Amino acid sequence: MRISNGWLHQPKQTEILIRLHGPAFKFFKERYNHRPYFVKVVSFDLRHKEEVKYDRRNILWRMPSLYKTSKENSIGSLDDDSIDDTSDSQNCLPALPSFSSTEIADLYGDNPLFHEQPANGARYQNDKGFVVYRTTSVAVEHLAFRFEIYVDYGLLKAIKQVEDEAKKEKDGKNFVKPEKCESSSTNSTEIERIGIAYCMPSSMSDTFGKTAVPILAKTQQPIGLLNVDYVFIHAIEPRQPVSLEVSYSRHWKKRHKALEVGHRGAGNSYTKFAASRENTIHSLNRAARNGADFVEFDVQLTKDKIPVVFHDFHVLVSVTKRSGSTLDLRGSVEKLDETLPTEYHELAVKDLKHQQLKLLHLSHHKAPEHSDKLKVTCDPTEADENQPFPTLIETLKMVDMETGFNIEIKFPMKLKDGSHECESYFERNMFIDIILNDVLTFGESRRIVFSSFDPDICSLISLKQNKYPVLFLCVGITTRYIPFLDQRSSTSEMAINFAASQSILGVNFHSEDLLRDPSPVKKAQDLQLVSFVWGDDLDDRKNVEYMKKIGVDGIIYDRIGEVEARKNVFIVEKHAKNSLFSTTPSPSRHGSLDKNSLSPTNSIPHSLNTLDVAPLQVSNAIQSSLNGSSSSSSLTPTTARSPSPSSPKRKYNFSHEI
């Protein structure tokens, strides 16, 4: 049995993620920068005094001594507090702290799941680590963090010994390489706290960002800086009625075949050839008619905060110069000189209102290279469902309900070459809240899976609701694209560790990476994660079959159903279920119905008689399906049980499953 971390269901609840990665430590003396350190992060409320027992290195949680004044080991309080002030504070103690204990996940470690911090902190190797600390608070404006930095001198001795032996080997002497550098000490006698740093609320003014806090030695002298990333994840606004009645956040029905997903509907139409313009209602429905189990499309916000379906962060607005000498017949407007070149001006989708996107003459950002097929704006004669920039609500309403949605949330990221996909973007919490509210309101019983290349967006989606699952889109090692700067998408293994740590559904791998090395699929399965795959390699049907062979759960590719006919697996399963519960009477050996046959009004179908089951009492929900209505789209599990204690107990679940 697996226990979920839950979700943020109260308005004041906030989850805070603190990250150390890469060269997090910057000591003023260079020789200290490459040592291994042990870091412990302690959360505390600035409104109250706390007492720390340094022999155990932990706070006395939920005890009055948490706020007790002590000149020897009081943290976060003034030394000259009066007795009266202490007495008043103790009389106003809260029943519980305003924050949870701080857990850690090491994404480069053997165990990427969040767990309790060791007494002396967890090891962090500068330049090579990626650790995440998390806590939940209901008073973030008063929450601060203390970073306790330790050195294990036993470990330093072991490292020095290895370096000395390596030097001897280089000089040609005998050398036996030790298996691993570990501290020779099993206790804390060789572990010493060498510094401390405080991150105050004023240092984290935004919900997402970076800050550098000074590291103070025992002498209270600054000895360096600690670079910290932080993310504040708030509960969804406006608050949605979320319960445990239905939750697919970690649910996935395993099938003997992978689900097949239509990429941007019927396929990429701007840089490849496709029968329909990508990311339109027409393209999505075409993929549905071609038998796609799911359709994948991209969602982002316009300037007026309307979620629209479009892939790129930028469009080109075409401007044609006017001749200046020719007037139209009315003498009021100059005619366009078609011989003059067209100028393109790049604008971000976030800087244009939805109505402007529909009115302006827009082209794909690669239009100067392929002007013949990269026009975004459609002709006036084209049908409405072929119009670009459909809203998310229109898409939820107008695309076949039997077809699942893989909604990719577009959020710009920084690239390794120093460029940024789209700077000065929306605040993350507000951005996700708007999209989630549309989906939770209009999603109904549709099968929906979210995904994003931004790992923090994945965390936000999974923590703000518990109904829909999330996949982390991974680029991995690639020669085709400029990789993202974020280490969590740099390799498939790192993506798996992130997905496991955040308890999301799984990872959407890049085909280029899996064709080189399919082992990440097995590792994902070992961690009970779902595996999808995307990429241009999947244009080749042989690669699609290979991905099925290695055991992925979903395959995203272009032009689904165009080459090889297929049927939506959910429709096939629905028809099979309906045929199982058909009302066809059983043939009688006497040419008529047996006197014990059930009446049509409360009958159990004959197909069940072929199963080794006891008589069942059919619920109203199942009875409605026997009368012709579908039960496969119901989100609430409906069960039928044997009424007799002596009969074999069998339970049937007719719930909607992904």
User: How far is residue 482 CA from its own chain's centroid?
Assistant: 21
Rounded to an integer, what distance in angstroms lies between the CA atom of residue 157 and that of residue 182? 9
Cα–Cα distance, 472 to 450 (Å, whole number): 9
CB 546 within 8 A of CB 570: no
Tell me which residue has tokens 């139409």.
Answer: 269
| Residue ranges per structural domain of the chain | 14-48+94-234, 259-313+383-567, 582-658
CA–CA distance, 225 with 211 (Å, rounded to integer): 10
Q: What is the mean pLDDT of each run of 10 residues along the chain (658 residues)?
A: 78 96 95 90 86 46 39 47 49 74 95 94 92 96 95 86 77 53 53 94 94 95 97 94 80 92 76 63 94 97 97 84 49 52 84 92 57 54 78 97 98 97 97 98 96 98 96 95 95 98 97 97 97 96 97 96 91 90 61 46 41 37 41 37 41 46
Q: What pLDDT sits at residue 42?
A: 94
Residue 240, by phi and psi: left (phi above 0), alpha (psi -120 to 50) or beta?
A: beta
Helix (H, G, I), strand (E, B) or coil at 40: strand
Q: In angstroms, rounded to a whole number, what is the distance separating the alpha carbons of residues 43 and 142?
A: 10
CATH dotted code for 14-48+94-234? 2.60.40
Q: What is the pLDDT of residue 189?
A: 61
- Other CB atoms within 10 A of residue 91 CB: 7
- Assigned CATH topology for domain 259-313+383-567: TIM Barrel (3.20.20)
Count of Cβ atoms closer than 10 Å to residue 476 Cβ: 23
Question: What is the full DSSP assignment across 133-158?
Answer: EEEEES-GGGEEEEEEEEEEHHHHHH
- Token duo for residue 400: 């076949």
**Counting beta carbons within 10 angstroms of the beta carbon of residue 363, is it exposed (0 to 12), middle (13 to 18) or buried (19 or more)?**
buried
Q: For residue 196, give every residue at least 6 positions away whose Cβ sits within 8 Å of its Cβ, in sequence order, or none.
A: 146, 147, 148, 149, 215, 216
Q: Which pair of tokens denotes residue 462? A: 């999974």
Q: Are strands 554-557 and 530-534 parallel, antiparallel or unpaired?
A: parallel
- Rounded CA gap, 362 and 349, in Å? 11
In sequence order, what are the residues at sequence separation of 6 or more whose Cβ sits closer than 8 angstroms to the Cβ of residue 431? 301, 411, 425
What pLDDT does residue 318 have? Answer: 77
Q: Between the CA of residue 316 and those of 307, 350, 354, 358, 412, what are the distances in Å?
A: 20, 13, 15, 13, 18
Q: Is 313 in a helix, a strand, or coil?
A: coil
Q: Residues with Cβ < 8 Å from 617, sequence gap 6 or more?
A: 640, 641, 642, 643
d(CA 373, CA 370): 6
Sign of CA dihedral 497, 498, 504, 505: negative
CA atoms within 13 A on the CB side of 20: 27
**Extended beta strands in 238-375, E state:** 259-263, 294-301, 307-309, 314-320, 322-327, 334-336, 342-348, 362-363
**Rounded CA gap, 329 and 332, in Å?**
8
**CA–CA distance from 124 to each of 105, 131, 154, 160, 414 (Å)?**
12, 8, 16, 17, 24
- What are the Cα distances from residue 637, in Å, to 572, 575, 630? 20, 19, 13
Task: Give DSSP secondary structure letters for 53-114.
Answer: ETTTTEE-TTSGGGG---TTTEESS-TT--HHHHHHHHHT--SS-SBPPPEEEETTSS--S-
pLDDT the model gives residue 386: 85
pLDDT at 62: 38
Q: For residue range 306-333, what is the model confidence (pLDDT) as tens digits?
A: 999 999 999 988 765 555 544 444 445 4
The pLDDT tens digits for 464-502 are 999 999 999 999 999 999 999 999 999 999 999 999 999
